Structure 1
């Protein structure tokens, strides 16, 4: 599936039931025992959630190669292409779902490997939809709070630059984007993947509709605000 010129596919646990209505609307029906977690408090490790995304490290490598070829053709070597360590992107989407069972969840995810990743979005906990994030750097760290907006429809955005992550959400249709989390992400950048995710650890059958997917990967980074 092509999104903003980048090829997306199932990169973790493709569900049995899913569909694409047009190039930017994906409907997923979750399966049971799907989750992402590593060790903290509960003592178990899970890497079974559904993830539809792309490998931004590979895209940047391709950009580097194209830039080098252009420089050679133009005999200009002053500009430096983006290094693989300088993974930079912004990914955002809209989520529609009705969360009702413990730990129902959906949102955005960035994965380096099974021990280094972040997920962010709505997760049903303590009888309420909660907005939060789980950052895993060896072990998982969960930060969450009761969501005050309409949990049936919300937007998520995640940005990576200079080995840092910024997570934002929107409860007003993408007009404003409050900060949810800002964190370092000092990981091996050779296999960074970003995409949408959903999980239902306690049941199956949650329908999640993802839309308005947007991915921006700049060829050169000069300034970030």
Structure 2
């Protein structure tokens, strides 16, 4: 069962240009040239993206719903599972190839990046991470049912999780997050129903 967690209980890693909390909604505006990435292909190392992180139990599911206008290249928002500067996972919506995509980056020393088409008719997306004793499973929900995006070979050790947003080549991305939730893992964390 998933339960809402107040945004007031989180702590900022790299606070955004501006942010506010009203009820169950967190509104943020990104600062310039912010990102999370380690080495692969581009060679650079960035850990200056914005994330509001929360402590968690050892195994759990977390999800957040959000909306934004991702108009500039690489603008992104979603969930960040953060263990250290060299071990983390981010997942959400990212502007790539001139359109919104569902993107997951898994970093264990070096980053990798996987993408899937995002339905352009969806305004509000929900990203879910299920943290098990042997993997992190990433799902997205737009219209219809949950979609599996990734089963990552990643064992989280003392990681925190929460909403994240970045604008690597721009600034001023505005995102509204709502209903950040934590809960126990379902019997089958791979195939979950809407």
Identify whether the pair has TM-score above 0.5, normalized to the shorter chain: yes
> Match of 1:184?
153
> Match of 1:224?
187
Q: Does 1:15 align with 2:16?
A: yes
Larger Cα-atom Rg: 1
Distance across 1 between alignment mates of 2:10 and 2:79: 14
Deviations 1:135-163 (A, max 9, x none): 00110010013312435321111110113
CA contact (8 A) 2:82 2:161 kept: yes
Q: How many residues align?
A: 186
Q: Which segments of 5 or more consecutive residues in structure 2 lack a partner in the other structure? A: 189-194
Structure 1 segments (4+ residues) deviating >6 Å: none
Distance across 2 between alignment mates of 1:49 and 1:5: 21
Taking structure 2 as the reference length, what is the TM-score of the superposition?
A: 0.89
Taking structure 1 as the reference length, what is the TM-score of the superposition?
A: 0.77
Q: Which segments of 5 or more consecutive residues in structure 1 lack a partner in the other structure? A: 61-86
Distance across 2 between alignment mates of 1:152 and 1:6: 21
Residue in structure 1 matching 2:127, options 130, 140, 156:
156
Structure in which a larger fraction of residues adopt strand: 2
RMSD between aligned residues: 2.0
State the SS of the aligned residue for 2:88.
strand
Residue in structure 1 matching 2:180, options 210, 213, 225:
213
Cα gap change, 1:93 to 1:186, in 2 (>3 Å): closer
State the SS of the aligned residue for 2:71.
coil
Cα gap change, 1:42 to 1:147, in 2 (>3 Å): same
